[in-house]
Every structure is written in structure tokens, then in C-alpha cells.
Amino acid sequence: MILGRRRTPHLVFPDASQLEEPLLDVQDLRTAFHSSRGLVRANDGISFTLNRGKTLGIVGESGSGKTVLTRSIMGLLPNINLERSGSVRFAGHELMNLTPTQLRHVWGTQMAVIFQDPMTALNPVVRVDRQLTESLRIRLGLDRKAAHDTAVTLLSSVGIPAPEQRMRNYPHELSGGMRQRVMIAIALACGPKLVLADEPTTGLDVTLQAQILDLLAALQRERSMGMILVTHDLGVVANRADDIAVMYAGRIVEQAPTKDLFSYTRMPYTEALLRSIPRLTEPSHTRLRAIPGRPPDLAALPPGCPFAPRCPYAQDRCRAEDPPARTAGAGHIFRCWYPVGSPEGEDALARNVAAGVPAALAFTGAVPVGVAAPVAPVAPPASTAESTDAGEEA
């Protein structure tokens, strides 16, 4: 981007408050990468909508495709070995067809991303000052003075004391929490209508995490932004998201309003995830209900439901047929043949327990996972660095 050169925007975005349709409407988004191991399906048919001022929490373990999803929505993925299809409509515009030049009018001013790692996402040899004012000058066309003043205001709005002095600092002179605040300030600089926060608090201490999440919530209310909060920690989204989508193996396996997801869980994976987390409310030495095994390799997904090999409810059908998205109440979708809390599900679990299926026994607490059955790596190792994914855990 050449500094100082102004273009009239190619795209006109309506004021978000006058928007008739959802702020963001993602339909059947598929993102896949060609790799030496074959096609890695990182997002496999993702659909959701997000309204203005609302928060969608996206929860998943590492390798579930949640980070790729944020990049794919933004159109930030390098177009090398990439296969991307589906529809991403943002404020009435289809983003999938935009050229890189047009996308630049979307980034920053319409939607912005807060990256996971503030240590590496900031440029280490550029002062906070320039990293913050760059987008203000280019996107909003502010002059040096106005951009500087806006930046100082931004820094103080994200809770940085003595913002004038901080402007002169390099990233390494700031603590982790301060750097994450600077990241947030950069993302919000041009007043985006949608913020994608990709693990904004991973790596921060709990006390800082609470501060940063509170800050994001306050700024979101103030600006009535839409927000996608990506995290591996169900605790982070439990009190902060309006809806939660749980991702597994590149797809959304359950999505529901936050309360419903926790109270009327349908997907066995969501249930297993919730049970495997140590709780403060439980007495010490409570046995954890571990999920046996580990997430599947996205380049070699099993047939049928990808969670079936680890699922306490899995039946033959699950290993053969991929379950379609089903609904359970308003805004609650899940993908399972034998959902939690249904008669079929109860039967399936009882059958598995009777048959001694390890996943079912571990789930009901009958046999400790870990010492029970030693299992070796199954998949042969690949030759690349990604081969850590090749093992299969007991």
C-alpha cells in the first residue's frame, strides 16, 4: 500500500444500523489446502450468521480449523495451494468475489482481526505510534496530527496509562497485556463493524485475561460491533457470547444460543469437552472424564462422523454415514445420529457400555483412560514437520 495515495472506495457499505440482513452471513464455506499429505479440509461446509452488536463464540481444540475460518472469512489466506468455496456476505456484499484491492476497503474499516499472539503480530522494529496511525492515515485519510491525536485517544480507551509516552515505545518495551491492548487498539482504529478476535487472551494470565475480555465487551457495546470470539476455552465464551459454535475437524458440530448449548447439549463432543474440564466447583481429586484419543488428521478424515472414533455414543451408522445438520429448538443445530439426551442416544450409550467400548467406559467413569489400554501410533509418520499430527493417541 502506498502511503498518501487516496482512492475513492470501490464499495459502499451501508450504515450498519440500517442493515436489513445479518451483518455477516457465511454459507457453506469450504477452505482446503493442498499439501504433500493430500487435501487438508480445514473448513468443511461452515454456515452461520451474525447480527450487529452480537457475539459469536467459536470453540474448538487446536487443529479444528477455527483460526483458518477467521482468515478465510477475511480473505486473508494466501492464494497458494488453496481451495475456497461458499459464500461470505458482509453487510450486503459478497466477499468471496472481491479483488485484493477491493478487499482493502473492507479490512480495517469494515472488519478487523485481533491476532492471537501479540508478541509476533506487532512489528518489532516499528514504534507503536506508526503501527497505530498507519491505517488511520491510509484508510481514513487523516493527516499526521489528526491521526496522532486519534491514536492517543484509542490507546487511552483500551486502558493504557500515559498513552503519549507509550506511542514512542517499541513493542518489546511493553508487557504482554499492554501489547494485546495495542493490538486491540490497532484493530479498532478505523471503527470496524465486525471484529474477529482470534484467541485474544491465550497466553495471558487469568487476571489479565479477565481485564482484556472486559475491555473487549465494553468497546463492543460502545460501538455496537459484531464480534467473533475464537477460543479453545469454553469458560471464556460461557459468559460473553450470545451464541456458541463448537468446531471439530473443520466443521461446526453444534451451534446454539449460549444457555442452550450448556443446558441442552445435543452433540456428544460438546458434552465430552464440558466434562473433561476440571471445575473449581468440584472437590479436589475428582476424576476427570477424559476423551480418549485425539482429533483426527484433517487430511485423512474417517468416513462418517469425524468424532465417531472417540465418541461414547458411536454406533455402526456413525462410522459409515456422515450425520447431517439437525435442529433442536430455535437457533440450535447439531450433527449427530444419536444425540445426547434423546432416547436413541441413551440406548446407544447403554449398548456401548454393555459392549465394553473403551470410549463409553471412560465416559461413564468405569475405566480410567490412560493406564487402561496402551495404544501405539496408528498412522505412519509423514516426512514433514506436520507429522506430529500423524500419531493416534490411546
Partner 1 sequence: MAGSGTAQLRGGDDMMLKVEHLVVEFGKGQRRVQAVSDVSFDVAPGETLGLVGESGCGKSTTGRAAALVHPPDSGSVQFAGTELTTLSARDLRQARTKVQMVFQDPISSLNPRRRVLDSVMEPMAIWGIGTSDERRAKARQTLESVGINPNDAGGRRPIEFSGGQCQRISIARALMLEPSLLICDEPVSALDVSVQAQILNLLDDLKRARGLTMVFIAHDLAVVKNVSDRVAVMYLGKLCEVSPPDNLYRHPAHPYTAALLASIPEPDPSAAGHASSPLSGELPSPTNPPSGCRFRTRCPYAQDRCAEEEPQMRALGPDHFVACHFPLARPTDTPQSTGTASPLASTAS
Q: Which of 21, 98, 287, 350 binds partner 1 (CB under 8 A)?
A: 287
**226-231 sheet: strands from edge to edge:** 111-114, 194-198, 226-231, 55-59, 243-248, 251-257, 333-334, 326-327
Provide, rounded to whole angstroms, the least separation between the CB of residue 393 and partner 1: 5
Tell me the window of 3-11, 98-106, 122-130, 236-244 that interacts with partner 1 (CB under 8 A). Answer: 236-244
No. of helices (H) and no. of strands (E), the chain: 14, 12
Contacts of 341 by beta carbon, 8 Å cutoff, 6+ apart: 264, 265, 266
233 belongs to the binding site for partner 1 (CB under 8 A): yes
Q: Which of 262, 302, 325, 346 binds partner 1 (CB under 8 A)?
A: 262
Q: Which of 206, 330, 354, 355 binds partner 1 (CB under 8 A)?
A: 206
Q: Which of 281, 316, 324, 330 binds partner 1 (CB under 8 A)?
A: 281
d(CA 235, CA 326): 25
Tell me the window of 45-53, 100-108, 120-128, 283-291 that interacts with partner 1 (CB under 8 A). Answer: 283-291
Provide, rounded to whole angstroms, the least separation between the CB of residue 134 and partner 1: 27
43 DSSP β-pair partners? 31
> φ, ψ for residue 198 (rounded to 5)?
-95, 100
The 16-55 contact track toward partner 1, x by CB under 8 A, reads ----------------------------------------
Choose between 164 and 214: whose C-beta lies nearer to partner 1.
214
Nearest-10 crossing angle of helices 176-188, 128-139: 10
Tell me the window of 42-50, 126-134, 137-145, 175-183 that interacts with partner 1 (CB under 8 A). Answer: 175-183
221 belongs to the binding site for partner 1 (CB under 8 A): no
377 belongs to the binding site for partner 1 (CB under 8 A): yes
Q: Which of 175, 222, 300, 347 binds partner 1 (CB under 8 A)?
A: 175
Cell numbers for 63: 487443529
> φ, ψ for residue 11 (rounded to 5)?
-115, 140
d(CA 342, CA 4): 61
78 belongs to the binding site for partner 1 (CB under 8 A): no
Q: Which of 165, 224, 276, 327 binds partner 1 (CB under 8 A)?
A: 276
Q: Which of 146, 301, 353, 394 binds partner 1 (CB under 8 A)?
A: 394
367 belongs to the binding site for partner 1 (CB under 8 A): no
CA angle 148, 149, 153 (to 5 degrees): 115
> φ, ψ for residue 325 (rounded to 5)?
-70, 130
Tell me the window of 86-94, 106-114, 271-279, 341-349 that interacts with partner 1 (CB under 8 A). Answer: 271-279
Q: Is 221 exposed, middle or buried (0-12, 13-18, 19+ CB in 10 A)?
A: exposed
Give the DSSP letter of residue 266. -
Length of the chain: 394
Q: Which residues bind partner 1 (CB under 8 A)?
A: 61-62, 175, 177-178, 205-211, 213-214, 232-236, 238-239, 258-259, 262, 272-274, 276-292, 294-295, 368-377, 381, 385, 387-391, 393-394
